[in-house]
Amino acid sequence: MVRHKIVLHFPHEQVDKPIVSKLVRDYGLDFNILKASITPREEGLLVLELTGKESDYERGVQYLRDCGVSIQPLSQDIRRNEERCTHCGACLAVCPTDALRLDRDTMQVAFEQAECIACELCVKACPPRAMEIHY
Amino acid sequence: MAKTIEEINERISRGEAVVVTAEEIIGLVEKKGVEETAATVDMVTTGTFGPMCSSGAFINLGHAQPRIRVHRAWLNDVPAYSGIAAVDVYIGATEVAVHDPLNEVFPGEFRYGGGHVIEDLVAGRKVHLRAESYGTDCYPGRHWEKDISLADLKDAWLFNPRNAYQNYNVAVNLSDRVIYTYMGVLRPNLGNANYCSAGQLSPLLNDPLFRTIGIGTRIFLGGGVGYVAWHGTQHNTEVPRTERGAPTRPAGTIAVIGDLRGMNPRYLTGYSMLGYGVSLAVGIGIPIPVLDEEVVRAAAVRDEELLAPVVDYSVDYPQGTGRILGEVSYAQLRSGSIVVDGKEVPTASLSSYSRAREIAETLKEWIREGRFLLACPAELLPCAPRDKGVS
Ligand code: SF4
Ligand code: SF4
């Protein structure tokens, strides 16, 4: 099993085609949409997390390329500035995954980067601004 | 068996004082009972760390040459109040830097303000002062700029008019859009519930009737030493209470003062509240002398027995309707979810319990090492139910 976060740029003419659902149907990949938007020039931007068998993943990515979609790995990373984190827990209210969790014994907030989908919701919701975006 | 503060101080000086935190005393009372605990323990330490908007610092800038009567002042572009003597200013925690877009692009980020200036000073970083005046015969200067740092300021005191709220609201959002409040981001349709108190560790919840805390009580403040100066603004003791005297609404508050020198940015941290503004997270720890069994009974309070009101911040709070959706205990809040209107709602805190614990532990160490003695309050803080003899 592999899990990759990738950024897809769709050309104008592909925006309304059901490309992503095909990944599930024909390649057995699970996906999680981290971000989706259409640029002013009507190109599509999609940040996906794909999970599946390595060989299926390779084939699926090839299929996307064949459709004219350009693919880049997600290079943006959310990291926590440990010095600044006060372990208040305000971020728990916004994090959609299990990346930020409260340990009920120590009452400290743990950050599990592997679970983070880089949605950035915590970045501005953190009062001391301890969650940082790195490119 | 009643003890006096003098007796306890003697034991501290001899290195014999028995000090426990407000968490530890719970187990102790369960095991040994109130009577024995009161006989053996001298002191209970408490702690809290959370955003406390009603905070700020008085700063004396020292005199310039030629002298200037500061009429307007900015510290790192954050306006400081200068309507006091020539070179005295007050920098308030919630003052926002000039040119901040505020909420023009909603929700505003509020990256820097008075709370951050105070944190920068305490961290030993340089802060840029800009001051203007109109010029007088005795103070001809009209413009003054320089970098200041805590080390070379004449005086710098933290003086917070309202801190350490005794209990607080649990904030939820009944509307169908996200709202951005001083209680954090509240997701629609009861998406989350935010609270802000250290519950069983919180200073004023461990002395609910102010039987020991008063004007002049020496405290842990921002990592250094400070004092209770007065009751805080909005101090209100005539509120509903549990059988054991703990208020079930926001109630008492304290005004605190202390020298910024000796404080630590770990316990004095600038906060940015998305869509709301800037603030300062303040760490406070109050030692509670075990004068009698009543003190022990109150300090042994558990999160299960402490109740907080759930308030809607989409309509009820902003409109001041006074409506309360229910009461929940701090044990429920800390468990990760509460039930409101039959719906399970995940909780998040703005107050750091782990840092509150750290403060109570630090204060305990200070006392054990004989570095921190109790101060006899000049007068207890006002508390109507105490004076009426309710216990
Ligand atoms: S909101 Fe920020 S400071 Fe608070 S626990 Fe989360 S990362 Fe840490
Ligand atoms: S960016 Fe923040 S809120 Fe989003 S998943 Fe990662 S940790 Fe959670």
Q: What is the largest CA-CA distance in chain A?
A: 54
Residue B116: pLDDT above 60?
A: yes
What's the CA gap between B287 and B20, in Å, rounded?
A: 10
- Residue A90 Cα to ligand 1 middle (Å): 6
Tell me what pLDDT residue B88 has.
97
Pocket residues: Cβ below 6 A from ligand 1: A 80, 85-91, 109, 126, 128, 130-131
Query: Among A107-116, B305-314, B369-378, whose mean pLDDT is lowest?
Result: A107-116
Give the β-pairing of B224-231 and B218-221.
antiparallel
Nearest-neighbour CA in chain A from B163: distance (Å): 17
In CATH terms, are A2-76 and A79-133 the same topology?
A: yes
Per the annotation, the verdict on B376 as an active-site residue is no
Beta strands in B286-390 (DSSP E): 287-289, 307-312, 326-329, 337-340, 343-349, 379-380
For B366-375, how does the pLDDT look when each residue is reduced to its tens digit (9 = 90+)? 999 999 999 9
DSSP single-letter state for residue B369: T
Nearest-neighbour CA in chain A from B349: distance (Å): 5
pLDDT band at B390 (very low <50, low <70, confident <90, very high): low
pLDDT band at A32 (very low <50, low <70, confident <90, very high): confident
CB-ligand 2 contact for A109 (6 Å cutoff): no
pLDDT band at A74 (very low <50, low <70, confident <90, very high): confident
Average pLDDT over residues B133-142: 97
Tell me what pLDDT residue A31 has.
87
> A132, A111 in Cβ contact below 8 A?
no
- The structural domains of chain B, with segments of one domain joined by +, span 5-46+163-218+234-263+289-380
The number of residues in chain A equals 135
pLDDT band at A39 (very low <50, low <70, confident <90, very high): low
What CATH number does domain A2-76 carry, 2.40.50.140, 3.10.20.30, 3.40.720.10, 3.30.70.260?
3.30.70.260
Q: Is B388 exposed, middle or buried (0-12, 13-18, 19+ CB in 10 A)?
A: exposed
Tell me what pLDDT residue A116 has.
86
Percent of chain B at pLDDT exceeding 90: 98
Task: List phi, psi (to 5°) of A98.
Answer: -95, 15
Percent of chain B at pLDDT exceeding 70: 99
Residue A68: pLDDT above 90?
A: no
B320: how many CB neighbours lie within 10 A of its CB? 7
pLDDT band at A41 (very low <50, low <70, confident <90, very high): low
Average pLDDT over residues B102-129: 97
Q: What is the mean pLDDT of chain A?
A: 86
- The structural domains of chain A, with segments of one domain joined by +, span 2-76, 79-133
> B321, B315 in Cβ contact below 8 A?
yes
A-B contacts (CB, under 8 Å): 78
CATH architecture of A79-133: 2-Layer Sandwich (3.30)
Cis before B289? omega within 30: no
pTM of the model: 0.88
Residue A75: pLDDT above 80?
A: no
Average pLDDT over residues B210-216: 98
Those of residues 4-43 in A touching chain B at CB distance below 8 A are none
Instruction: Inspect the interface and report whether the beta carbons of B334 and A104 lie closer than 8 Å.
Output: yes
Tell me what pLDDT residue A82 has.
96
DSSP single-letter state for residue B207: S
Tell me what pLDDT residue A11 has.
80
Three-state secondary structure string covering B31-82: HHHHHHHHHHCCEEECCEEEECCCCEEEEECCCCCCCECCCEEEECCEEEEC
Query: Among A71-85, B145-159, B327-341, B362-376, whose mean pLDDT is lowest?
Result: A71-85
- Nearest listed ligand to the Cα of residue A109: 1
Identify residue B70 by its one-letter amino acid code.
Answer: V
Q: Is B268 helix (H, G, I), strand (E, B) or coil?
A: strand
Q: What is the mean pLDDT of chain B?
A: 97
Please indicate whether residue A70 or residue B53 has the higher confidence score (pLDDT). Answer: B53
Rg (CA), chain B: 22
Residues in contact with B318: Cβ distance below 8 Å, sequence separation at least 6, in sequence order: none
ipTM summary value: 0.93
Residue B391: pLDDT above 60?
A: no
Q: Which residue of A lies nearest to B111 if distances are taken between CA atoms?
A: A129
